[in-house]
Chain A
Amino acid sequence: MRKIIVSEFYSLDGLMSDPHDQMDWITGTFNDEMGKYESGLYDSADTLLLGRTTYKIFEGYWPTAASNPATSQGDIEMAHKINNITKIVFSHSMEDVSWENSKLLKEIKPEEIIKLKQKAGKNILVIGSSTIVQQLTNLGLIDEYHLLLHPVVLGSGKPLFKDIGQKHDLKLLEAKAFKNGVVMLRYAPKK
């Protein structure tokens, strides 16, 4: 069965974005090693699950990134991957999605996610999208968490694991420090 992998930019105080969804704490440190990690991650997958907020941020950037002269070579390559991957957006309020290869669903239905995992194919990613991470964690459907721990305490912002309510023990698979001070912690749920 293919895996559902969560990959998150993360602060030391457990937040995945600052109060204004500003990304400077991420973009300020992003380097080639992280680019390589991200690129490999997208290559390992063919489906991306997104919540509304992350979808909107991505849709505001990636569809036009490749045609913008200010875009870096790394981002142009990423843009192709993200535009091409199958995206499933979960939202009650959105009415349609216009970004290529996107599909809108109202809500997460566990049996549909399980069916999706059982289909042949590459891995399924969740990026950002804390509401999706929370629901799938509570359903026990996530196979790997990749937390890219940035060297910062944000103080306020959006917690990644907000409505978890219950203890989840994980198993550390790998800890890897990048040259920019970001540490990638890779975990699997403890069975």
Chain B
Amino acid sequence: MRKIFVFMMVSLDGFFEGPDHELDWHNVDAEFNKFAEEQLNEIDTLLFGWKTYELMAGFWPTGAAKKDSPVIAGKMNSIQKIAFSKKERKVDWQNTRLITGNVGGEITKLKNQPGKSIAIFGSSNLCVSLFQMGLIDELRIMVNPVVLGKGHTLFNGINDKLNLKLLKTRTFKSGNVILYYQPI
């Protein structure tokens, strides 16, 4: 069965986005872009909760994204994407389909298909549901060297304490530290 991992940028105060879903604090540089490219090469499917989908769909297809990070934009646009929403919605971003129900069943089906790993970027609420169903195999948290002061806390709404096992860490020159964990 293939692996599902979560990749999430967080601030030192545990926020994955600002109060109005801001992501402008992401500390990215050439080393990060190389990492992001390599990470995209590990996967063939990307899962998003609705909010994150909207943010991503509003950025990656634009000329600005293609100009700033052409390789990553190319991969983000061409990769197979699934957006989860409770409501029926229109999805315009290329290679995206919408799933509105039975999240657990759909993801289990996906995991059983042959292929590369599956990733979830951001999408804190979706992650909370999937943690509770035991469907996440790995967690990659990139801690940015910033205290935001306000924002939305990652995995808010999780009922129980989530215990993790540290697999490895990597420090970036920018001051970001990525932590790889496995739920236990």
Contacts and interface: CB of A to CB of B under 8 A. Distances in A.
A105 interface: no
A114 interface: no
A14 B153 contact: yes
Given A167-B149, A175-B177, A185 B164 contact: no
Interface stretch (A43-51, A61-69, A83-91, A147-155): A147-155
Nearest to B174: A172
B175 A172 contact: yes
A14 B162 contact: no
A161 B13 contact: yes
Q: Which 3 A-B pairs have the closest CB atoms?
A: A14-B14, A181-B166, A172-B175
B166 A172 contact: no
Nearest to B8: A12
Contacts of B153: 13-14, 159
A169 interface: yes
A155 B13 contact: no
A124 to B, nearest CB: 20
A185 B147 CA distance: 13
Contacts of B50: none
Interface of B: 10-15, 25, 141, 143, 145-150, 153-166, 168-169, 171, 175-177, 179, 181
A161 B160 CA distance: 22
Given A172-B177, A185-B177, A151 B148 contact: no
* Most central of B11, B160, B175 by chain A CB within 10 Å: B175
A170 B158 contact: no
Contact of A153 (B12, B162, B177): B162
Interface of A: 11-15, 18, 25, 137, 145, 147, 149, 151-155, 159-161, 164-172, 175, 177, 181-183, 185, 187, 190
A165 B169 contact: no
A190 B13 CA distance: 16
A153 to B, nearest CB: 4
Contact of A159 (B14, B143, B163, B164): B14
Contacts of B14: 11-15, 159
B179 A183 contact: yes
Most buried by B among A13, A151, A153, A155: A153
A160 B145 contact: no
A12 B149 contact: no
A155 B160 contact: yes
Contacts of B146: 167-170
Nearest to A12: B141
Contacts of B156: 13
A151 B145 contact: no
A18 B161 contact: yes
Nearest to B150: A165
A171 B150 contact: no
B145 A169 contact: yes
Nearest to B164: A151
Contacts of A149: 143, 179
5 contacts: A151-B164, A159-B13, A159-B153, A170-B12, A177-B169
B147 A161 contact: yes
